[in-house]
Amino acid sequence: MAGAVKRIKLGSQGLEVSAQGLGCMGMSAFYGPPKPESDMIALIHHAINSGITLLDTSDIYGPHTNEILLGKALKGGMRERVELATKFGISFADGKREIRGDPAYVRAACEASLKRLDIDCIDLYYQHRIDTRVPIEVTIGELKKLVEEGKIKYIGLSEASASTIRRAHAVHPITAVQLEWSLWSRDVEAEIVPTCRELGIGIVAYSPLGRGFFSSGPKLVESFSKEDFRQYLPRFQAENLEHNKKLFERVNEIATRKGCTPSQLALAWVHHQGDDVCPIPGTTKVENCNQNIKALSVKLTLEEMVELESIASADAVKGDRYGGKASTYEDSETPPVNSNKEMVGTVKRIKLGSQGLEVSAQGLGCMAMSCLYGPPEPEPDMIALIHHAINSGITLLDTSDIYGPYTNEILVGKALKGGMRERVELATKFGISFADGGKIRGDPAYVRACCEASVKRLDIDCIDLYYQHRVDTKIPIEVTIGELKKLVEEGKIKYIGLSEACAATIRRAHAVHPITAVQLEWSLWSRDVEAEICMPKFQAENLEHNKKLFESVNEIAMRKGCTPAQLALAWVHHQGDDVCPIPGTTKIEQLNENIQALSVKLAPEEMAELDSIALADAVKGDRYPDGV
């Protein structure tokens, strides 16, 4: 009766679905009048019993009636056998259609869908269309809360651009992106599909049969009722249909050779795009459902795939996918997250040094993503975190060849693909040789080799800010800086920095070539650098004493209405506009809190109070163990 329906993983968060789903929209709306409820429930049951378990609906289908239909169909033990996907985002009230993604609407829509579907939890909840007035981070932030509350399991997006997908994925993992993908809608292959695959996001292809075009070709328009919205789509207009029928005829020829229907061939082509793709053809007939399932058994050779793609090139189809002002991924960009004060503070720009380098007033230390503070964090999560930081206005990224070693630079390099490189100031470091057992080196040959290796790992042409991580006391600093100066002249680095260098060394280095930045440990419990330059602390014998400093800082933070971490970071920001702290984190929530520290304003009296409790004797223990 129907072919076997295999199971596939959708996304990277554990969702498993049937390799083909069932689009339920046409049962209730848009493709003609609603179909008899009893027939549609029987069709849904038939699909489930045939192995089709991913059911797709939306609150706008009807509106509302399609969800109610699904809720009825899933009684009697059927709910436990399916993965149920629904959507929000298109509001239809008082005859007015509006795209909405504000938190209050997201929550209300979810709770209303749960009630109509008569279930406790939605398996996959999509944002149907993107609200371009609301930062995507705000919308996803509310969806994340719904996941934490157990009202939804997985988050999806529909008709979202590559950059919007990246920004959303940085807040909470996106499990699936729904997009129109078929032999006559292939534009998503340029950016969106590669982005999904890079981030480990599943792909759900809607209208894989070209809204029914590949079932009967141009004759399809003869069956349109007055309620069928397809009659208004550009591709079905007479001036385009004559051209488009050529594509159907070519597909039909190949299908005849293969011994299948043109719709099965078109559907098989989508299935052959990969095991991360799940098409969801819609139907209102059991016979068509069976035909669609049989498409899973149609095997296409590489030559046949090439032939199909050659006849389904961009100029093979005339007419846009939608008409009028329909919302698609092409107009799904949202305002930057830092335009919404609920999320993060504004990240201003500052001048770093006197050579023209401009950076965000706060950077991102990337070390802990790969090493030293525990095991390496999952790469997709860290790439998403870096993207979130960049989209939030944090553009100074800090890494080093010793972090990993090497793996942190490789991670940052991957994160800067897809246009991200041009949006950041990238700093890395050399000077601690892992191959030599952690030996400090600053000889010219080593400096050059390190730079070239970092450029290769980061997959870039030029490093914005290149620090000597630790100073080699065996080599005159003038010799090391002399080699760095050559690298500047060769265009391999833009600016030179030093890390953990004394005042005299900084002066000597600066005499050879301008030093743009000095990296140093500076905080309320590491203030020794104030005297000249402008882990033992965690041992039990010191920690009991050091906790008094935290308690005092915490008291002031409570008065200010911020966290102690934000207060400590604000204190550093208040040292001057020539200071850029680079707090490290592996969590988006902490990143957002760190950015909010930029909004914490400290009066001179509060700075004096903090300075007084953070005196030299307020902290016990050296900054590093012996030998460092």
Phi, psi of 118 (to 5 degrees): 60, 50
Q: Exposed, middle or buried, 45 (CB in 10 Å: 0-12/13-18/19+)? A: middle
Angle of helix 262-271 relative to helix 238-258, nearest 10 degrees, comes to 80
On whether the CB atoms of residues 362 and 574 are closer than 8 A, the answer is no
For residue 490, give both structure tokens: 């060769």
On whether the CB atoms of residues 83 and 121 are closer than 8 A, the answer is no
Give 515's Cβ-side CA count (13 Å radius): 22
Q: Where do runs of H (alpha helix) occur along 149-277? A: 162-171, 192-199, 213-216, 238-258, 262-271
What whole-number distance in Å separates Cα of residue 23 and Cα of residue 54?
A: 9
Query: In this structure, how many other beta carbons lie within 10 angstroms of the beta carbon of residue 339?
Result: 14
Q: What is the DSSP letter of 584?
A: B
Strand runs (DSSP E) across 341-386, as ranges? 349-352, 357-360, 363-365
SS3 label, residue 23: strand
Q: To which residue do tokens 């979130």 refer?
A: 388
For residue 389, give both structure tokens: 């930081």
What whole-number distance in Å separates Cα of residue 480 and Cα of residue 462?
A: 19
On whether the CB atoms of residues 273 and 308 are closer than 8 A, the answer is no
Beta strands 363-365; 396-398: pairing state: parallel
Q: Exposed, middle or buried, 625 (CB in 10 Å: 0-12/13-18/19+)? A: exposed
Q: What is the DSSP string of 217-246?
A: GGGGGGG--TTBGGGGSGGGSHHHHHHHHH
Nearest Cα residue to 464 out of 454, 474, 473: 454
- Which residues 6+ apart lie within 8 Å of 238 measured at CB? none
Length of the chain equals: 628
On whether the CB atoms of residues 15 and 26 are closer than 8 A, the answer is no
- Which residues 6+ apart lie within 8 Å of 111 measured at CB? 151
Strand partners, 384: none
Strand runs (DSSP E) across 316-462, as ranges? 349-352, 357-360, 363-365, 396-398, 425-430, 432-433, 439-440
What whole-number distance in Å separates Cα of residue 316 and Cα of residue 436?
A: 60
Nearest Cα residue to 43 out of 23, 58, 59, 29: 23
Residue from 61, 125, 126, 403 carrying the catalytic annotation: 61
Q: Is 31 a catalytic residue?
A: no
CA angle 114, 119, 125 (to 5 degrees): 50
Query: In this structure, how many other beta carbons lie within 10 angstroms of the beta carbon of residue 387?
Result: 23
Residues involved in catalysis = 61
